[in-house]
Structure 1
Amino acid sequence: MVRDSEFGQRLQRLRQQAGMTRPVLGDLAGRSASWVKALETGRLQQPRLPMLIRLAEILDLEDLTQLTGDQPLVRSLYGKTSHPALPKISEALASYPASASSDDPDLSSEAIAARTRQAWALWHGAAYQRSAIATLLPGLLRDARIAVRQLDGNERREALATLAQVYHLTQLYLSFQPPASLVLLSGDRAMTAAQDADDPHAMAAAAWYVNHVYRDAGEQHDARVELALEISELLKPEKQGDDLALWGLLRLAIALSYAKIGREGDALRYWDEADKAAKALGDDYVHPWLMFGRSMVDAYMITIQADLMHSGYAIRQAAKVDLGKMPSATRRSFHTAETARAHFMRDESLATISLLSKAHKESPDTFGFSLFAQSAVPDLVENGGATVRPDAERLASILGLND
């Protein structure tokens, strides 16, 4: 992380360029002039991510690195929560299995695919999705890799495409937990399996998840956009169906990447392409495990606008989205928390805490590993006011922030 004195110097320079005094900036951020001075002189550490976003919005910055410097702000550094099954899943990922998980498992590509579909159903349907798939994932990781070694021909390629999905599930389980290197490992193995399968659909899904890994880390923007564009060329969106859905998904990945670095025109252009794909597929289409469809595309516009620091646009977009049509508890919780993030950027504490409470109700597990919730809730406890504080303290307790 950048040294606090360097951050303070950047903040002071940007504040002065904006023609703001310390009292004005402090007031707009909900803090005091002495707090701004403490940041600028290095007496206070660089604030958490939500406050960095708020400062960037106040100072009308297009790119958060104008505050944080060239070194990327790795979001995984903010996540310290660990699931109880993390050691078991980590060991399964890092192992090199020589035998299957039971005396006589069915290692046909069809059997492995059926078990993987069951894991996806648990991931999207269970309120505590990490606990749900943790019971399946170690054995599935082992057996899917054994199956790939034992099968050949078309059945082996099918098993490889399924193995890529197993790695996607592993990546999702590991997300926002230490160590971040395991998330990178699962994403890389998924892409390798998809390429070995020579399956454009599997490669497109792997590109979507690789995009997540590096976008969350603030790294390799050009590489991940190039990857999405390259794999898009392998798809045939004119065929409709899954080809069009995965083509649209990669357009959405590119839009999110551009929004992350503040390139609004490119972000909106690629979102429009994803939107056209979702409309062509119809309101009832939802990809069975990637969840691409009308509601997902609309909901990600909330994230895009928040990342572009257009909190008002994000909130207006949220009013148009019916998350009830999205058959995934974890996605409903995530997008609800993203709406809360937009309100938090506007210092609307009551709306923020209400939406965070709703996100927790939708999926306690997704909420529990939310980096935004982990950083915003303590701020709401301290600065949300008497009306907000009881609910903020309750959520802080749920997140283990009172320990």
Structure 2
Amino acid sequence: MPEHTDVPTTATFGQRVRRARERAGLTRPVLGGLVGRSAEWVKFVESGRLQMPRLPLLLRLADVLGIEDLADLTGEERLSAATYTKAAHDALPAVKAALTTYHFNGADEEPETADQLAARVRQAWQLWHGSGDHRTRIAVLLPDLLADCQHAARTLDGKDRRRALVALAATYHLAQLYLSFQPAPELVMLTGDRSMTAAQDADDPNAVAAAAWYMNHVFRDAGERHEARVDLAMKAADLLTPDRAPEDLARWGLLHLAAALSFAKVGRRGDAERYWDRADDAAKRLGDGYAHPWLIFGRGMVDAYAITMNADLMRSGPAIDAATHIDLAPMPSATRRSFHLLESARAYRLQGESVAVVHLLRKAYEASPETVRFNLFARPAVAELATGDNAMIRDDAHYLAQKLGVPA
């Protein structure tokens, strides 16, 4: 499709989307529904309050609008590989190899006990949550831990084998988190599927619940299968007995939180808030001081995800209000604190408050550099801020751009 004469060459991405939508005769609710987003999302894109989306959603948007040449949408705002391409961790090839290497020998070798494997998995999760360079540290452990859990699951029997499968599922969760926001989407799906298979083979409802939580991340980040991921979360929740023990209640609450985030992603505010209320009730029943040792579910996590939920619903005011009132310091995870600070920055970005955005991005980087380095909101946001004309934030924005390796 050639460039239309009614679209100035200097038009922004949002202006081009609006004119293409009007030419196609689509309302904002219709366009949002066709690309799996809300009418508010379309409004924020068209007004410039949201950045150009990542390539998969950009392609879907162009297809719905009947645009063959992406340049008709992007105009002068060309896609930059440095900002929109997923960064790759140095150890990614080694982790890839560990996931795609199959061990046929060693059946006679004595496997580690289920207790030993469980202890190693706990230590790995502590490293993930407790260090700002968590990806680097966990990448060192993953290959051997995967191999040893797989060996134990093949050779142990009975209850010990089921416990080894639970350890294997939790290790695949770590691998999935390591791979997230890197150029290996097929391996993210692979680890999610393998963790669910291991959990089901273990016949352990708690392990299935954790696998369902992480599979929800896979589908939600890909913008796919909203109904399927809510159904998966609720079926896994039905396996639990939340009145029996804190472990069940925490995972039951976590799965309702997953449903809330899924509904928010597609703009269904009423359903999102209804499921968030159920997660909130579970956190209240567990008490203010509770946080799951590696899933981190608890009062702080539910409150923090209210920021994400409202930001996805394009409700910047409530998102900022949630960010203002939460104290992330007690949360026992540097990676999660950093992530929720990034989500707070995203909420302020919807309001165009650049000073707050840069401040929160820097705080997130100080909490966990690798969380920010591999975050797909942070990279384009820093690139945009570093090339802007706001002298008040220039130094901090350039500092972050240098640390993240994006153009300034």
Normalising by the residue count of structure 1, what TM-score does the alignment of the two structures yield? 0.83
The aligned runs of 1:14-163 (5 Å cut-off) are 14=21, 55-56=44-45, 58=47, 68=61, 78-99=84-105, 107-163=112-168
Alignment partner, residue 301 of structure 2: 296
How far apart in 1 are the matches of 2:387 and 2:317? Answer: 24
How far apart in 1 are the matches of 2:257 and 2:2? Answer: 34
How far apart in 2 are the matches of 1:133 and 1:270? Answer: 33
Alignment partner, residue 340 of structure 1: 345
Alignment partner, residue 326 of structure 1: 331
- Greater than 4 Å deviation, 4+ residue runs: 2-10, 13-19, 64-67, 103-106
Check if 1:181 corresponds to 2:186: yes
CA offset digits 1:60-84 (Å, max 9, x no partner): 99xx97992677xxxx994421111
How far apart in 2 are the matches of 1:262 and 1:11? Answer: 19
How far apart in 2 are the matches of 1:320 and 1:155? Answer: 45
How far apart in 2 are the matches of 1:3 and 1:230? Answer: 49
Contact kept, 8 Å, 1:7 with 1:69, in 2: the verdict is no
Q: Shift in Å at residue 164 of structure 1?
A: 0.3
Check if 1:11 corresponds to 2:14: no
How far apart in 1 are the matches of 2:132 and 2:2? Answer: 39
How far apart in 2 are the matches of 1:384 and 1:310? Answer: 27
Contact kept, 8 Å, 2:306 with 2:319, in 1: the verdict is yes
Contact kept, 8 Å, 2:358 with 2:397, in 1: the verdict is yes
CA offset digits 1:177-223 (Å, max 9, x no partner): 01211111000100000011010000000000000011011011111
- 3-state DSSP class of the match of 1:239? coil
Q: Shift in Å at residue 153 of structure 1?
A: 0.4
How far apart in 1 are the matches of 2:262 and 2:288? Answer: 25
How far apart in 1 are the matches of 2:43 and 2:351? Answer: 8
How far apart in 2 are the matches of 1:275 and 1:284? Answer: 14
Give the 3 Å change call, closer, same or farther, for CA 340–59 of structure 1 in structure 2. Answer: closer
Give the 3 Å change call, closer, same or farther, for CA 4–247 of structure 1 in structure 2. Answer: farther
- 3-state DSSP class of the match of 2:314? coil
Give the 3 Å change call, closer, same or farther, for CA 193–317 of structure 1 in structure 2. Answer: same
- 3-state DSSP class of the match of 1:185? helix
Check if 1:234 corresponds to 2:223: no
Aligned partner of 1:93: which letter?
Answer: L
Alignment partner, residue 204 of structure 1: 209
Give the 3 Å change call, closer, same or farther, for CA 141–129 of structure 1 in structure 2. Answer: same
Contact kept, 8 Å, 1:360 with 1:367, in 2: the verdict is yes
- Which runs of 5 or more residues in structure 1 are unaligned? 20-51
Identity %: 53
How far apart in 2 are the matches of 1:370 and 1:82? Answer: 11
Give the 3 Å change call, closer, same or farther, for CA 176–260 of structure 1 in structure 2. Answer: same
How far apart in 1 are the matches of 2:47 and 2:328? Answer: 30
Check if 1:364 corresponds to 2:357: no
- 3-state DSSP class of the match of 1:325? coil
Deviation larger for 272-281 or 310-319: 310-319
Alignment partner, residue 251 of structure 1: 256
How far apart in 2 are the matches of 1:56 and 1:224? Answer: 26
Contact kept, 8 Å, 2:124 with 2:141, in 1: the verdict is yes
Give the superposed CA RMSD.
3.0
CA offset digits 1:352-393 (Å, max 9, x no partner): 000000000000110111111111011111225111122111
Q: Shift in Å at residue 104 of structure 1?
A: 7.1
CA offset digits 1:197-250 (Å, max 9, x no partner): 010000000000000011011011111100011111110011141111100000
Normalising by the residue count of structure 2, what TM-score does the alignment of the two structures yield? 0.82
Deviation larger for 384-393 or 260-269: 384-393
Contact kept, 8 Å, 1:54 with 1:345, in 2: the verdict is no
The number of residue pairs the alignment matches comes to: 363
Q: Shift in Å at residue 95 of structure 1?
A: 1.0
How far apart in 2 are the matches of 1:4 and 1:298? Answer: 46
Alignment partner, residue 273 of structure 1: 278
Check if 1:355 corresponds to 2:329: no
Q: Shift in Å at residue 394 of structure 1?
A: 1.0
